[in-house]
Amino acid sequence: MSERLLFLIPARGGSKGLPGKNVLEVGGIPLVGRAARLGCATARVVGSGSRVVCSTDDSAIADAARAWGAEVPFVRPAHLSSDGARSIDVVFHALDVLEEEFDAVVLLQPTSPLTAVSDVVGALDLFREYDAPVVSMCRAEHPAEWFFTLDDGGRLSPLLSRDEIPIRRQQARDSFRPNGAVYVAHPDTLRANASFVGPQTRGFVMPAARSIDIDTAQDLQLARVLMASRERSGATCAVVIAPMPPRSFPGRHVALATTGGEGRRAEMIARDSRQREERRHEVAERGARVRIGELAVLEVG
């Protein structure tokens, strides 16, 4: 039986720091469009029964989300679209309005445009393995032991105990921070904890290169530079058909792209193992190009 997943894209229209943020483009696609495309691509991989829904109060955002495959079945109310509104309340509103039973909520932030399908699939795998919420993380740029606060007089106070401050970097513990890209949890767990973060929450580690969280104009520029760098790679596409781990998609296979470049994108969708040879022929004949590290096969018919 297929899982019922709700891929939820929260995208309000009132950004103060970066006006119109969710419809600004990275690689020629609006941020909310990238999140919608990511959700739709992942939904095709995990199988039927899932919905990709954008929660927004803004008509331009709604139009962009629909253009890239998401549903916008309701308008987010004003009290959930303010600067002080909590993301978890946006999730609860969507669940209440949709009135459906879901096996998990997968929150995809438009402000993380470099997230790959493999990241979302990896977070879902971790959710299934531990039956616990999952939050995407990346390694912190500096050890937590190096963090200080400043009082009104400019005096330093360590965030951690002074006894925990290492003399050398090599002695510092590995530190991780949420990167804002992917959150996964069962609806019942969310209602019990009122958060994706609880005592049993697991962290799914993503590379720093895909962990850009757009909050400022500088973040947006960096994301555009990284995306342009990918698209200029010009490498020849090398695709192989490989089985997915059994606990992910039993009996299915996907084409795994090892390099990528410019050209026609392949549809990301899991296919039955009986179609492996047909899939390899179609990819070779049509010359599809896919980006580094993404799961992709061509949908036939």
Report the run of H or E that residue 30 belongs to, with start and end.
strand 29-30
Range list for CATH 3.90.550.10 in the chain: 5-140+175-212
28: pLDDT confidence band, cut at 50, 70 and 90?
very high
Q: CB neighbours (10 Å) of residue 180?
A: 20
Cβ 248 vs Cβ 270: under 8 Å: no
Which residue type is seen at 48?
A: S
264 versus 213: which is more confidently predicted?
A: 213
Question: Which pLDDT value is given to residue 233?
Answer: 63
Question: Which pLDDT value is given to residue 283?
Answer: 39
Residue 10 has pLDDT above 60, yes or no: yes
Residue 166 has pLDDT above 90, yes or no: no
Task: Map 114-146 to HEC letters.
Answer: CCCHHHHHHHHHHHHHHCCCEEEEEECCCCHHH
Report the predicted TM-score, pTM, of the whole model to 2 decimal places: 0.74
What average pLDDT does the chain have? Answer: 79
Residue 204, token pair as written in the block: 């799914």
CATH 3.40.50.150 fits 5-140+175-212, yes or no: no
285: pLDDT confidence band, cut at 50, 70 and 90?
very low
pLDDT digits (tens, 9 = 90+) for 255-275: 443 333 333 333 333 333 333
Report the run of H or E that residue 180 belongs to, with start and end.
strand 176-185
Question: Which pLDDT value is given to residue 247?
Answer: 39
Question: Which pLDDT value is given to residue 278?
Answer: 38
Residue 56, token pair as written in the block: 């927004």
